[in-house]
Amino acid sequence: MRVALFVPCYMNDFHPDAALSAYEVLKRHGCDVVYPRNQKCCGQPFLNNGMHEEASEMADIFLSVFGDFDYIVSPSSSCIGAVKYRYATLEGGERFDSLSRKSYELCEFLHDIVGVENLDFQTPFTRKTGLHDSCHAVRELYLSSPSELNIPRYSKVEAVLSRVPGIEIVRPQRDECCGFGGGFSVMEPDISVMMGRDRIDDHSSKGVEVITGVDASCLMHMEAIARREKRNISFLHIANILAGREKGDIRL
Amino acid sequence: MRAFTDHPTEASRFVSDGERAHWHDRALWFVRAKRDRASETLPEWERLREEAHRIKSHTMKHLAWYLRLFEERATANGIEVRWASDALEHNEIVASILREEGVERVVKSKSMLTEECGLNPYLQERGIEVVDTDLGERIVQLAGDTPSHIVLPAIHLKKEDVSEIFAEHMGTEEGNSDPVYLTVSARKSLREKFLTADAAITGVNFALAREGAVTICTNEGNADLGVAVTKLHIASMGIEKIIPSAQSLGVFTRLLARSATGQAVTTYTSHYSAPEEGARMVVVIVDNGRSGLLAGEESPILSCIRCGSCMNTCPVYRRSGGHSYGSVVPGPIGTLLAYSRDGERYSSLPFACTLCASCTMVCPAKVPLHDTIYRVRKSAIETPTYTGKRKALSLIYALLRYRPLYLTAMTLYGWAVKYLPRNLLYSGYNVWGRDRDMPEPARRSFSRIYDDIERREDG
């Protein structure tokens, strides 16, 4: 099973620990993981801002780098969402259909392809953990049941995370957006910050010590607010918890 | 009313009163939660949404045929049908009918279409008094304000605000903000208006083509009361209000109130298929730009049944308030309606959205709201307002595309975050940094770490 690891551009520089964790988790579960060296941004910033020409070029690069692998796995639901569903909105978007079928968010891959029963996480995690449901994970990739829909309740992310020994998972009151939204965070700073703060408050009110999630971008946004406000709450990408790796730890 | 600048500016103003913004958010989330519970009472909920979507898409595809059928059947029932190509023609038609009948006072139930057409000021300038009879709209009208929500027009006002408005305009007790007292006072005052009115204007929720009838849903019975006590009923509807028949109506009435307020059904769901004896009923069918949408990528918005659930669930709307959209209909559907009408004026609205997709998930007619917002950004980014943003994104593109440039930029950024004095790093130009710390890049990127992994695995 040839698996290509796609590391979102900002994670490469800001959260290499989480990328490394994703790599390790896949490796430990028997995947032949490769990190293709010539990978670049998936083009999401351009897609979401209507700049389809630029997005098209990034998408073509993505296709040329990842097209030949059996699976493409990434510790980010928003980037995978862009590849799976937004590339199709580009002119001649059919050429990306094959990518769409084999792209997976990390937890989704562990759940659907590796299988929950085969998951083996060694390192216990004992801090009270709030699970942030990011929009693309819930309402685009359907990694969990959106609260808006009248369908049976499930969460692939929680199913995966709960295999970590000793973990206590807390769900917030709302599965609401954190307010990052890429360009939204700087075009609508006031609403963006209020949304992020509300998410933090929601978790805090339930005694959460660490907020986790499948998207580093949401966590980065909330952490930036929490730091400014000197909140007593920390943030850790879900891959780190699965790999038993502390934040910022990049020792091999 | 203030002139509309752009969404971020208007939103800032609303959020600056943090307590009110939070109250607004909680009030509407409460409605959203009620909607969730109501939807859960129907195991067939998702199938109903699918069915509504199917019926609406079908009707829009054969719109001309259904509209003609409606006209034929309604006319046979004794209803007069008039056509208006735009807002002005609509207002002229209404005004001329009112003049014919010598009308001096009109009672009007809630109609977003008449708001869209600016009917109230048009009639008032011509000496006809218009009284909004929906409680929320009445509050807004007395305050000289505009609705901030299509189902809950006065949701931006607290009961204390209402108390002040009523005290000023209706002479109620100052400082008494008891909701029951205020509602009873409004009811008394409105009752007098009803009894002295010469005509009733209503909106239309659904127009039934096969029956040639219209259905009007209210919680206050104000539409029915107006029609009952006057001899002239003018019902204004957009061309998209048409559905095939009473048979399909059941799908929509089951979805509408549950989606809007979490009620099983609106308190009054009234069907008007003919005028009372000796009375006149006129249906004015308005295009006002709608037919232009039929062929384009914004066409799905014509399936909207105006339940307001996309507003209640929108995390931006709940915090920025309805007036921040600067148009009659706010929120996700309002963004698309306004943008399709005037792309330059409303170019900020498609970006007042995180693409969280919650609107699309609650929409009873399955309008792909966030997907359509995503799509229209392609033209919105080309408007003059976003020249700067386009340039910034082009720069980011260049960085992402050419590795050496990117690495230099990251080094510079890392250096700035680490060594720049705080007041420089967090100067006024740093929009992100006003209320947020800057994230620090790691000492080594993952691609560098991967070099070591490869070396180790090879060795």
pLDDT in tens, A133-185: 999 999 999 999 999 999 999 999 999 999 999 999 999 999 999 999 999 99
Stretch B69-97: mean pLDDT:
98
Residue corresponding to tokens 């059947």 = B73
**Residue B319 to residue A194, Cβ atoms within 8 A:** yes
A52 touches chain B (CB under 8 A): yes
Q: What percent of chain A has pLDDT over 70?
A: 100
Q: What percent of chain B has pLDDT over 70?
A: 99
User: Residue A31: pLDDT above 90?
Assistant: yes
Q: Which of residues 157-176 of A touch B (CB under 8 A)?
A: 174, 176
Q: What percent of chain A has pLDDT over 90?
A: 98
- Amino acid (one-letter) located at A176: E
Residues 6+ apart with CB under 8 A from B146: B1, B115, B140, B323, B328
Report residue B280 as tokens: 């006149």
- DSSP letter assigned to residue A171: -
Q: What pLDDT band is residue B212 in, cutting at 50, 70 and 90?
A: very high
**Residue B431 to residue A189, Cβ atoms within 8 A:** yes
pLDDT (0 to 100) of residue B48: 98
Q: What pLDDT band is residue B218 in, cutting at 50, 70 and 90?
A: very high
**Residue A189 to residue B432, Cβ atoms within 8 A:** yes
pLDDT digits (tens, 9 = 90+) for A53-75: 999 999 999 999 999 999 999 99
* Mutation to test the B interface, candidates A60, A148, A252, most B Cβ within 10 Å: A148
Q: Which of residues 225-284 of B touch A (CB under 8 A)?
A: none
Stretch B36-43: mean pLDDT:
98
Distance from the Cα of B390 to chain A's closest Cα (Å) equals 8
Which sequence spans correspond to the domains of chain A? 2-115, 118-243
User: Residue B114: pLDDT above 80?
Assistant: yes
| Nearest CA-CA partner of B281 in B114, B18, B74, B112 | B74
pLDDT digits (tens, 9 = 90+) for A91-134: 999 999 999 999 999 999 999 999 999 999 999 999 999 999 99
Residue corresponding to tokens 């699309």 = B360
Q: Are strands B105-108 and B232-238 parallel, antiparallel or unpaired?
A: unpaired
Which residues in B lie closer than 8 A to residue A250 (C-beta atoms)?
A: 442-444, 449
Stretch B233-237: mean pLDDT:
98
A64 touches chain B (CB under 8 A): no
**Residue B360 to residue A194, Cβ atoms within 8 A:** no
**Residue A139 to residue B361, Cβ atoms within 8 A:** yes
Separation of alpha carbons A251 and A121, rounded Å: 19
Domains and CATH numbers, chain B: 1-35+308-401 (no CATH), 42-133+198-291 (3.40.50.10420), 403-458 (no CATH)
From the list B315, B357, B436, the residue facing A225 with the nearest CB is B436
A151 touches chain B (CB under 8 A): yes
Helix (H, G, I), strand (E, B) or coil at A104: strand
Q: Are B165 and B142 in contact (CB under 8 A)?
A: yes
Residue corresponding to tokens 């695995």 = B457
Separation of alpha carbons B135 and A224, rounded Å: 43
Helix (H, G, I), strand (E, B) or coil at B242: strand
Separation of alpha carbons B269 and B287, rounded Å: 25
Tell me the β-bridge partners of B129.
B105
**Residue A250 to residue B443, Cβ atoms within 8 A:** yes
A15 touches chain B (CB under 8 A): yes
Q: Which of residues 380-399 of B touch A (CB under 8 A)?
A: 380-382, 389-390, 393-394, 396-397
Stretch B232-257: mean pLDDT:
98
**C-alpha angle with apex B447: B445 to B449, nearest 5 degrees?**
75
Q: Which of residues 186-225 of A touch B (CB under 8 A)?
A: 186-191, 193-196, 198, 220-221, 223-225
Q: Which of residues 284-313 of B touch A (CB under 8 A)?
A: 313
Q: Are B232 and B197 in contact (CB under 8 A)?
A: no
**Residue A150 to residue B39, Cβ atoms within 8 A:** yes
pLDDT (0 to 100) of residue B2: 54
The size of chain A, in residues, is 252
Find the residue in A nearest to B47 (Cα). A150
Helix (H, G, I), strand (E, B) or coil at B221: coil
Stretch B388-392: mean pLDDT:
92
**Residue B396 to residue A45, Cβ atoms within 8 A:** yes
Helix (H, G, I), strand (E, B) or coil at A183: coil
Separation of alpha carbons B79 and B59, rounded Å: 22
Distance from the Cα of A12 to chain B's closest Cα (Å) equals 5
Separation of alpha carbons B449 and B425, rounded Å: 29
Find the residue in A nearest to B7 (Cα). A188
Separation of alpha carbons B376 and B381, rounded Å: 9
**Residue B434 to residue A189, Cβ atoms within 8 A:** yes
Which residues in A lie closer than 8 A to residue B255 (C-beta atoms)?
A: none
Q: Are B67 and B242 in contact (CB under 8 A)?
A: yes
Average pLDDT across chain B, whole number: 96
pLDDT digits (tens, 9 = 90+) for B175-199: 999 999 999 999 999 999 999 999 9
- Rg of chain B over CA atoms, in angstroms? 26
| DSSP string for B327-345 | SSS-HHHHHHHHHHH-TTT
Q: What pLDDT band is residue B457 in, cutting at 50, 70 and 90?
A: confident
Find the residue in B nearest to A60 (Cα). B401
Helix (H, G, I), strand (E, B) or coil at A48: coil
A146 touches chain B (CB under 8 A): yes
CA distances for A30 relative to A2, A114, A115, B56, angstroms: 10, 9, 12, 49
Helix ranges (H only) for A183-243 are: 184-187, 189-204, 216-228, 238-243
Count other C-beta atoms under 10 Å from residue A111's C-beta. Answer: 20
Report residue A84 as tokens: 């799976």
From the list B15, B379, B452, the residue facing A190 with the nearest CB is B15
From the list A50, A149, A228, the residue facing B378 with the nearest CB is A50
Which H or E element spans position B227? helix B222-229
**Residue A48 to residue B381, Cβ atoms within 8 A:** no
Find the residue in A nearest to B401 (Cα). A40
Separation of alpha carbons B39 and B412, rounded Å: 52
Which H or E element spans position B49? helix B45-61
Q: How far apart are the first and last CA of chain B?
A: 73
Q: Are B354 and B317 in contact (CB under 8 A)?
A: no
Distance from the Cα of B241 to chain A's closest Cα (Å) equals 25
CATH class of residue range A118-243: alpha beta
pLDDT (0 to 100) of residue B1: 46
Which H or E element spans position A213? strand A210-213
Distance from the Cα of B16 to chain A's closest Cα (Å) equals 8
User: Residue A51: pLDDT above 70?
Assistant: yes
Report residue A87 as tokens: 């590339």
In degrees rounded to 5, what are phi and psi of residue B208?
-95, 110
A60 touches chain B (CB under 8 A): no
Q: Which of residues 119-158 of B touch A (CB under 8 A)?
A: none
B180 touches chain A (CB under 8 A): no
Distance from the Cα of A164 to chain B's closest Cα (Å) equals 24
Q: Which of residues 315-344 of B touch A (CB under 8 A)?
A: 315-316, 319-320
A116 touches chain B (CB under 8 A): no
- Pairs of residues, one from chain A and one from chain B, whose beta carbons lie less than 8 Å apart: 190
A34 touches chain B (CB under 8 A): no
Report residue B160 as tokens: 């204390």
| DSSP string for B163-210 | HHHHHHHH-PPTT---HHHHHHHHHHHHHHHHHT-SEEEE--SEEETT
**Residue A49 to residue B29, Cβ atoms within 8 A:** no
**Residue A14 to residue B356, Cβ atoms within 8 A:** no
